[in-house]
Structure 1
Amino acid sequence: MQFFDSLFGVINDLTWGWALVPFLVVLGVFFTTASGFVQFRFFRRMFGVLLGDEDGDPSKISAREALFVSIGGRVGGGNIAGVAVAITAGGPGAVFWMWAIALIGMCSGLVEATLAQVFKRTTAEGDYRGGPAQAIIHGLGENYRWLSIIYAICLIASFAIGFNAFQGNTVAGAAADSMGIPRYATGILLAAATGLIVYGGIHRIAKASDVIIPVMAFGYIAMALLIIILNITALPGVIWDILANAFGLREAVAGGVGAALANGLRRGLFSNEAGLGSAPNVAATAYVRHPVSQGITQSFSVFVDTMVICTCTAFVILLGDVYQPGQEGVDGVILTQQSMVSHVGNWAQYYLTGAILLFSFSSIIYNYYLGENALAFMTKNPVAVQVLRLIIIAIVFIGAVAPGATAVFNFSDPLMGVLAVVNLLAMMMMFPIALRLINDFRAQLAEGNHKPVFEPKNFPDLDTDPSAWPDAK
């Protein structure tokens, strides 16, 4: 066991601890510049998916459903506890750098989702499947299959197993602390709900997310808006604190600008997952007319995660008096919970527990689908999927009932680091393909076609599946 702890520690140091965050930032800036700031040019189009602009075949997963599944996965503990950790360790200035990395990450999210879409395949059931593993095979060639397998293994181990245990542990801990509910009771409830959803496949996952995510997001935003309105006169001062600390005009914690920058970037990337290679697996399931359409949709999910949900948490904390720069012992979800209670009363802790339940459950079903998609790439044996479902249900329960379950996550972060490195290398090599698709999308808009259509015959050098594009001529 000591050997594996040391091995995963070295992997973690070589990825998250050394090069991965700068790699994500540099590539994000490059993608943004080379694409002509595409995430800002198409910003208004992002809201169209909420109105059903991309809706078509009702038997397919719609762009909106795929968006909500992705938001459900991105929005989780990082938006409640992660923001608090960033502020505690990096000061209010960390919030500014979370905003900055989200605006850059919107382009990375657009590129990886576009690539997942263009190389998606139609399944025997008529659904679509894809993601970075498929994109590597069809975009780079069979010689890179080994890279796809590494990606798929890391995706299953980190998201489907490790992070699902973490989500179960988070919900059970919050329920036990705020309402005295035994961990095993929460574990049974979560495991049963997880089984009900995952045995329905991607369609049931999408339908559940279409209900859960709006309730979850709007409920949390409504609470934050209430707190902001109650403290509206203090809001300009909080915004000034964020900017002043971000640029060293005022030092809130040891390390100054460096601490704010490092914690803001790292927590922002953990929260929105842009460039990490997880969300494209869901993006590929959607019916759209053009790959870039879903890229734009996924870019919007990064915006919602950080610029909306994380900002809500930041304002709840910074508008209160619980957070004190340099304090110790009050951080993570405790800081967010106590800040909310200080604003509106003790009932808020139960409200936050409910929010954590929805946040975590949406992440569980999202993480499961990532694992299923990775497994489907490696084997077509239907028994393997059934075994994975049983393992996920068991993992959720075990994570909930074990107070020390977080110890098993020492392998999740390093494997997610390897996952991100593989995905970023693939994105870098296939970026010229994404750029061609973006230019094609722009050209159709310039010709007056407000709903561009991807024509596989115009890209004969790409290994696409024509049956995945029914709107093509």
Structure 2
Amino acid sequence: MIESLVNTINNILWGQGQILIYLLLFAGFWFSVKLKFVQIRHFGYMFAVMKNSTQSDQSGISSFQALCTGLSARVGTGNLAGVAMAISLGGSGAVFWMWVIALLGMATGFAESVLGQLYKVKDQNNEFRGGPAYYIRQGLGNPWLAVTFAVCLFLGYGFSFSAMQANTIAEALNNTFAITPVYSGVVIAIIAGIIVMGGLRSIARFAEKVVPVMGLAFVGLALIVTVINIELIPAMIQDIVLSAFGLTEAAAGAFGAAIKNGIQRGLYSNEAGAGSVPHAAAGASPVPNHPVAQGYVQMLGVFFDTMVLCTCTAVIILLSGIQLNGEMAGISITQEAMTAHIGGAGTYFVAGAITLFAFTSVVANYAYAESNLHLFKLDHKAGRLAYTAVYLLMVIWGASASLKQVWSLADMALGLMTLVNIYAIVQLTPTIVSLTKDYWHKRASGQKIEFSVADVDIQGQTSADIWQRCDSDKKHLKNNG
């Protein structure tokens, strides 16, 4: 009965109804226009804002740690198994639509991360917490919708997503080393438990050490594969573009499948609009001290995840010459493609890569859901222990569950989260636009870039012990000449 319900909801969201595909395209265009295509006009600046990104304070992690934490969750099965699945079901044209949703999603990711930073709060440990549930409650004044989002988040990032990541790790290790999946699940749960018990700071420190290394290693290998097959690149790009519109013989009739699978897997990979990354954005103490700074940081995350890492996987698969049968398949396709390029070592490389990629996601997913314990007043020892226990049990279960079961549950949770989050950030568009104008006015006029509530028209209320302090300091200086 549960499986039937999940399939029905997914069919409405992703299948025949395709509600989310239209909604995400709308959101991407909406914020691109409202923010005057910030992802293109300020493309270079999103790298420049990382200049002082390693600074932090007692309440928040650094911007670089927030970026790595966001990438920890983004960079996972979507980059290796998800891309393979999109190509196997939608053909090479699915890659084009992954690029489209990423380009548009950069603006959406900017918008939601700005809001996550603006409406953040402090928990009982005096550390920053935030995300869609917080900006829905404080910005829109809608506590019931905030609770709805938080429940969907727990179902998705707290439970099913980590199970799905564990499933992919177990599949890769079983294919390569014949390790029984349940054993892999237990080991993953033990190691993850050691890391997550240290809270957001422990997760952020782990992310900033692992993510850059694994990302550079994977990009480096993809570049080597590209150079070796350089003469095939023009034909590959032509095939991607033509297949995206069903203009090749092989892609005839698969136009819809290319769009659906490209956008669905692109969203799952970069998470723009899903409302997940604002939790990492909210945990940061940005430099400069303005919510918009985190918008640029997380926009860079969307770019790196899809336009760089997903493209690397697509190149490795499409240049391998392996035959795709149009059926759902995951990491095994990527392993087969890598083996075609570098021999037997390819299987071991992919097994290692997916283990690291997916494991970082398992850890970051915990942090996202844990941020919402504060919303339910459960950010105490008993509340965290109960959540952690269920989370780790789901990791163990996911390692030996069927691929279809796990992905279907993850798709439903992601879809429901996205519905609520897109509604919220579109409603909060005036605040996003006002913040962005304030940031660029101060930068253009040579003023110190620092956020003050008095300078911007915002919806709802921000936390009085965070941003209001800047405002009161400004008034104090003014009153004293």
TM above 0.5: yes
Distance 1:328 1:465 in 2: 51
Deviation at 1:460, TM superposition (A): 6.9
Distance 1:460 1:445 in 2: 18
Alignment partner of 2:450: what SS? Answer: coil
Q: Show the counterpart of 1:390.
A: 389
Alignment of 1:144-293 (within 5 A): 144-288=142-286, 289-293=289-293
Structure 2: any 5+ residue segments left out of the alignment? 475-481
CA contact (8 A) 2:28 2:107 kept: yes
**Aligned CA distance change for structure 1 residues 445 and 251 (closer, same or farther; 3 Å):** farther
Kindly provide the amino acid, as one letter, of the partner of residue 353 in structure 1. A
**Aligned CA distance change for structure 1 residues 255 and 405 (closer, same or farther; 3 Å):** closer
Q: Show the counterpart of 2:32.
A: 32
Distance 2:464 2:449 in 1: 16
Q: Show the counterpart of 2:455.
A: 458
Deviation at 1:260, TM superposition (A): 2.3
CA contact (8 A) 1:93 1:241 kept: yes
CA contact (8 A) 1:195 1:393 kept: yes
Question: Cα deviations across residues 225-251 of structure 1 (Å, max 9, x unaligned)?
Answer: 111111112112211211222244424
Distance 2:105 2:257 in 1: 20
Distance 2:314 2:106 in 1: 20
Distance 2:37 2:194 in 1: 42
Alignment partner of 1:181: what SS? Answer: coil
CA contact (8 A) 2:193 2:392 kept: yes
**Aligned CA distance change for structure 1 residues 6 and 111 (closer, same or farther; 3 Å):** same
**Aligned CA distance change for structure 1 residues 360 and 291 (closer, same or farther; 3 Å):** same
Distance 1:395 1:245 in 2: 38
Deviation at 1:356, TM superposition (A): 0.7
Q: Which moved more, 1:337-346 or 1:373-382?
A: 373-382
Kindly provide the amino acid, as one letter, of the partner of residue 457 in structure 1. A
Question: Cα deviations across residues 426-456 of structure 1 (Å, max 9, x unaligned)?
Answer: 011111111100111111121124x621112
Q: Show the counterpart of 1:433.
A: 431
Q: Show the counterpart of 2:321.
A: 321
Distance 1:358 1:49 in 2: 27
Deviation at 1:13, TM superposition (A): 2.4
Q: Which moved more, 1:255-264 or 1:24-33?
A: 255-264
CA contact (8 A) 2:129 2:282 kept: yes
Q: Show the counterpart of 2:87.
A: 87
2:445 pairs with 425, 444, 447, which one? 447
Structure 1: any 5+ residue segments left out of the alignment? none
CA contact (8 A) 1:323 1:339 kept: no
2:360 pairs with 357, 362, 385, which one? 362
Question: Cα deviations across residues 280-333 of structure 1 (Å, max 9, x unaligned)?
Answer: 111100101111110111111110111000100111011111135xx3568432
Kindly provide the amino acid, as one letter, of the partner of residue 48 in structure 2. G
**Aligned CA distance change for structure 1 residues 53 and 195 (closer, same or farther; 3 Å):** closer
Q: Which moved more, 1:302-311 or 1:6-15?
A: 6-15
Q: In the alignment, is residue 105 of structure 1 matched against residue 102 of structure 2?
A: no
Given the two structures, how large is their TM-score scaled by the length of structure 2? Answer: 0.91
CA contact (8 A) 2:113 2:282 kept: yes
Deviation at 1:54, TM superposition (A): 6.6
Deviation at 1:344, TM superposition (A): 0.7
Distance 2:105 2:114 in 1: 14
Distance 1:190 1:258 in 2: 37
Q: Show the counterpart of 1:419.
A: 417
Kindly provide the amino acid, as one letter, of the partner of residue 389 in structure 1. T
Deviation at 1:409, TM superposition (A): 5.4
Q: Show the counterpart of 1:351.
A: 349
Kindly provide the amino acid, as one letter, of the partner of residue 9 in structure 2. I
CA contact (8 A) 1:153 1:374 kept: no
**Aligned CA distance change for structure 1 residues 391 and 173 (closer, same or farther; 3 Å):** same
**Aligned CA distance change for structure 1 residues 85 and 158 (closer, same or farther; 3 Å):** same
Q: Which moved more, 1:91-100 or 1:428-437?
A: 91-100
Kindly provide the amino acid, as one letter, of the partner of residue 230 in structure 2. I
Q: Show the counterpart of 1:48.
A: 48
Q: Show the counterpart of 1:20.
A: 20
Q: Which moved more, 1:417-426 or 1:52-61?
A: 52-61
Deviation at 1:10, TM superposition (A): 2.7
Question: Cα deviations across residues 141-165 of structure 1 (Å, max 9, x unaligned)?
Answer: 1xx1110111001100111111111
Q: Which moved more, 1:406-415 or 1:186-195?
A: 406-415
Deviation at 1:14, TM superposition (A): 2.5
Distance 2:367 2:264 in 1: 25
Kindly provide the amino acid, as one letter, of the partner of residue 135 in structure 2. A
CA contact (8 A) 1:187 1:396 kept: yes
CA contact (8 A) 1:120 1:130 kept: yes
Distance 1:404 1:335 in 2: 17
Q: In the alignment, is residue 339 of structure 1 matched against residue 316 of structure 2?
A: no
Kindly provide the amino acid, as one letter, of the partner of residue 313 in structure 1. T
**Aligned CA distance change for structure 1 residues 425 and 367 (closer, same or farther; 3 Å):** same
Distance 1:265 1:441 in 2: 31
Distance 1:98 1:138 in 2: 33
Distance 1:111 1:337 in 2: 36
RMSD over aligned Cα, in angstroms?
2.0
Deviation at 1:88, TM superposition (A): 2.1
Deviation at 1:403, TM superposition (A): 4.6
Distance 2:328 2:5 in 1: 31
Q: Show the counterpart of 2:478.
A: none
Distance 1:300 1:157 in 2: 27
Deviation at 1:117, TM superposition (A): 0.7
Distance 1:113 1:162 in 2: 23
Question: Cα deviations across residues 352-399 of structure 1 (Å, max 9, x unaligned)?
Answer: 101111111111111111221122211235111111112222222232
